[in-house]
Structure 1
Amino acid sequence: MDFYLTALLQGLCFSGIALGIFISMKIFNIPDITTDGSYTLGGAVTGILLTHHQPVYIALPVVLGAGALAGALTGIIHTKLKINALLAGILVMTGLYSVNLTIMGRSNLPLIGTATLFDLLHVITDPNQNTFLILAVVVFIVILLIGYLLKTDFGLAMRATGNSESMIRALGVNTDRMKITGLALANALTALSGYLMTQFQGFADINMGIGVVIVGLGSVIIAETFINWLSITSIWISLALVLAGAIIFQLVLAITLDIGVDANLLKMVTAVFVLLIVGIPRLAFKR
């Protein structure tokens, strides 16, 4: 049972990554690999600020700003230097490894004796329920803000940039600026996941972001499968399904551990699971 409770809480922590991947890949059609670095960046900034006794409400905007800066850098390299988006993300992600290591000063930074978000707010006496409630409120607020943004004129311009860049450019919209802003927003959300996960697990680690883009991608693909099956057009329902996809992804990994699969094989199981959810719907469509 502990596996499933932890999976639920981790799914909520990873919702920022899933939303970030949704924005970069499904709205802008940009495969952004900066995710691996910006997730760790969020954790590194959170860890160093909390260990220096800065309150969590001070750490949060700094984390969001750091993630947005990383995403904007990828966008600038892609749009202004005309470098392939995938390569731009890889370059920034590689550089962020050194940045994160410099910020933390070591490879692993435990949050011993620090006050985290889950320690400061005691809404419910049971610690697990209290953690769940705090994460649920944070995720709800994030989805509310992102959904509202995507419904505004600015958000519609962002979505149109991904759907038909030439058309929206003909209407006078600066598509380069839209891409930079979109990648900044996506990586700010990814850094938010690092912020939450670092406090949830009690430490920041330089390798915590390795392969995390697969988690976000798998969550989005799960959501996309339901969106296509149910022919959903509402942005609110789509965002809710992305959140559900992040939780389902973690629950599948929890089931894998619960049935006795070696934890050393968890990354391989993750890769196979993503391959299945990508491949099976396409095979069914061809038939």
Structure 2
Amino acid sequence: MTAFAFFGALEIGLVYALVALGVYLTFRVLDFPDLTVDGSFPMGAAVAATAIVAGIDPWIATALAIVASAMTGWVTAFLAVRCGILHLLASILTMIAAFSINIRIMGRPNLALLGEETILTPFESLGDPMLIRPLAVGILVLISAWFVVRLLNSDFGLGLRATGVNARMVSAQGGSTSFYTFFGLSLSNGFVGFAGALFAQTNSFADVTSGAGTIVVGLAAVILGQTLIPGRKIWVTVFAVIIGSVLYRLAVAFALSSGMFGLQASDLNLVTAVLVAIALIAPRFRSRMLTKKRVEQGRKASASRTGESA
């Protein structure tokens, strides 16, 4: 793998780390299967790109993208909580609607940002863009991760986590599970929209199909990270999710660029499926190995006690 490919994969991995944070909030914290991210990701890209082309400051454009994507999460929560639609179906309906809305926002299926100023433009003058761009994106990811850790460690975050574990208990204690669901889904898709805005600005284009498979990438990052770095503390989990996203992208880039396995760019979905499958199987395999090891240790200890008593 060349240095250009490595730093490119690192940059994309850090961008998708924001997606992973959003997926972590819905799937792990709220226990809400949310497929809205496949629509909120390109919405963040579409809003940011349209605003930048219109002459709006890139930071304000990114903020607008976050708000717009957060609204898609709010719509999903409304359909699920207020309208009683099945969680998975509610997110699918929002995702489908977002596809048409994104075309309306851009006025076309894709929009180029070549020559436009982005939030990364001021940093590129500080040194080699190949090194500076991943560093700048990494700082934004760390700030987002710090916010998530502080939020989940607060009293409000405790209610948010409790909603995903036992919603009835939260209601019995006087908490509003509906409010936590609305907030959690909006925040999650806000992070995804942030990732979409960064994706558009780092790749100099926004495309209505850029969100296809985003949920799979986010899940792969969460599962891979928590498999490699298990832990119960929130900061460890959040750190693992970010590392999982970066490692996932590096693994994909290595598999596609090395030529070792005869893979091509069209095999991206195949590589993704294999990596997710390995990440899902690994915890079970490790659990079986640990159980087998404990059994063997128990047998040895039992045999030792029997020998001593004899």
What TM bracket, shorter-length normalisation? over 0.9
**Counterpart-to-counterpart distance in 2, 1:134 and 1:265:** 30
Equivalence map 1:3-82=2 (5 Å): 3-82=5-84
After superposition, the C-alpha distances for 1:227-247 in whole angstroms (9 at most, x for unaligned) are: 44xxx2221111111100000
The one-letter code matched in structure 1 to 2:74 is A
Q: Quick check: 2:227–2:282 contact (8 Å CA) kept in 1?
A: no
Unaligned runs of 5+ in 1: none
SS at match of 1:17: helix
**Counterpart-to-counterpart distance in 1, 2:124 and 2:275:** 37
**Larger of the two Rg values belongs to structure:** 2
Of the three residues 172, 187, 202, the one matched with 2:189 is 187
**Counterpart-to-counterpart distance in 1, 2:246 and 2:142:** 14
Q: Which has the higher contact order (CA 8 A, sep 6+)?
A: 1
Q: Quick check: 2:7–2:134 contact (8 Å CA) kept in 1?
A: no
Q: Quick check: 1:18–1:217 contact (8 Å CA) kept in 2?
A: yes
The answer as to 2:201 corresponding to 1:202 is: no
**Counterpart-to-counterpart distance in 1, 2:104 and 2:216:** 25
Q: How many residues align?
A: 284
The answer as to 2:262 corresponding to 1:249 is: no
The answer as to 2:109 corresponding to 1:110 is: no
**Counterpart-to-counterpart distance in 2, 1:123 and 1:14:** 24
1:273 Cα offset (Å): 1.4
Q: Label 1:280 to 1:233 Cα distance change in 2 as closer, same or farther (>3 A).
A: closer
Counterpart of 2:161 in structure 1 is 159
Q: Quick check: 2:74–2:186 contact (8 Å CA) kept in 1?
A: yes
1:225 Cα offset (Å): 1.2
1:64 Cα offset (Å): 1.2
Runs of at least 4 residues of structure 1 off by over 2 A?
A: 120-124, 279-287
Equivalence map 1:135-284=2 (5 Å): 135-228=137-230, 232-260=231-259, 261-284=263-286
Counterpart of 2:133 in structure 1 is 131
**Counterpart-to-counterpart distance in 2, 1:206 and 1:133:** 27
The one-letter code matched in structure 2 to 1:259 is S
After superposition, the C-alpha distances for 1:66-104 in whole angstroms (9 at most, x for unaligned) are: 111000110111111111111000000000000001101
1:9 Cα offset (Å): 0.5
Tell me the TM-score normalized by structure 2.
0.89
SS at match of 1:14: helix
SS at match of 2:120: helix
**Counterpart-to-counterpart distance in 2, 1:122 and 1:259:** 29
Q: Quick check: 1:3–1:257 contact (8 Å CA) kept in 2?
A: no
